[in-house]
Amino acid sequence: MATVTHLTVNEYLRRHDEPECELIAGGLVAKPMGTIDHMKMERRLQQLLEPFEQRGLGQVVWELSFRQRDEVRIPDVVVLASTARFEDGIPVDAPLLCVEILCPSQREAELFAKCEVYHA
């Protein structure tokens, strides 16, 4: 895949190619593929968060695009208020919780950079 520089959020939202990428500083960054341990952790989180969703306290979703200013990140797990509003398939309202599971191929600095975006 060719590297695209200075892609806007609107251009990012119109693309439909693979692999799944995040929009960071105007460029596309491929999201690392999860390992079996990563998938097991996601499933365990789903089990732990299921009662929250069953009580109508929110929605638990996976791999949902999250926009913050001019970046689009894709957390592993997102918890949204049950009243969350969407625009172009992306939540308009801030999530209640974003979870990132560290992959062996990721550096801690990448993880912390994502967390900074989620907290902004």
69 and 21 Cβ atoms separated by less than 8 Å: no
Mean pLDDT, the chain, whole residue set: 84
pLDDT of residue 118: 76
Domains detected in the chain: 33-119 (3.90.1570.10)
Q: Would you say residue 20 has pLDDT above 60?
A: yes
Q: Would you say residue 63 has pLDDT above 90?
A: no
Average pLDDT over residues 46-73: 89
Average pLDDT over residues 94-102: 87
91 and 84 Cβ atoms separated by less than 8 Å: yes
For residue 113, what are its two tokens?
């950079």
Average pLDDT over residues 39-63: 91
For residue 98, the tally of other CB atoms under 10 A from its CB is: 21
Q: Token pair 């999860």 is at which residue?
A: 34
Cα dist from 28 to 11, 53, 60, 78, whole Å? 11, 32, 26, 21
Average pLDDT over residues 90-117: 83
pLDDT of residue 44: 94
